[in-house]
Amino acid sequence: MTDDDTPIHETPIHVDHVGIAVESVEDAAPVLDALGCERLLDDTVDGEFRWVYYSLGNASRIELIEPIAEESFLTAFLERHGPGLHHVTLEVADIDATIEQLDTAGVDVVDRKSYAEWTEAFVSPRNATGTLFQLMEYHEAYTENTEHDPESLYVGGERLSSEK
């Protein structure tokens, strides 16, 4: 918002999930279980890390990420910071428009990658919030390529769209 409460842009954005770095999913899972979280996904990425995705209530998502490689971005993170908040993932309806707005504001966006299921980029944690933000624009293939109920994978039951 600007000083006169005018939105800076019209691109729909919302929090998709928070990612928490842990030494062990098995050790951390009882905390989420006690909070009433439901495990949705348990997967690994390129032999580097395991991610376990949980839902809480009708629109909250939490991701536990555990290193499985001896040396990775996650092992380095845990050595420096210990377990805790790693990133906040924002689902965006239009990643190009979002990145353009961030660039205009002088915010550093790094590591953009496109996959069949989504496109992602990261806002460097060297910003004034000190937080790593992951920007995610889901594609139709994300819904098509899952064994899980697609509605449970999206906050609000469906992916964001820039269409009004």
| pLDDT of the chain, 164 residues: tens digit per residue | 455 555 566 889 999 999 999 999 999 999 999 999 999 889 998 899 999 999 988 778 999 999 999 999 999 999 999 999 999 999 999 999 999 999 999 999 999 999 998 999 999 999 999 999 999 998 988 877 777 666 777 777 777 777 65
User: Within 10 A of 141 (CB to CB), how many other CB atoms are there?
Assistant: 12
Return d(Cα 108, Cα 97) in angstroms, integer. 15
> Radius of gyration (Cα) for the chain, nearest Å?
16
Q: What is the pTM of this model?
A: 0.86
Tell me 137's DSSP state: E
pLDDT score of 1: 46
pLDDT score of 25: 97
pLDDT score of 24: 97
pLDDT score of 158: 76
Give the chain's domains with CATH numbers: 13-149 (3.10.180.10)
pLDDT score of 122: 97
pLDDT score of 69: 93
CA distances to 56, 111, 147 from 40, rounded to whole Å, are 10, 26, 10
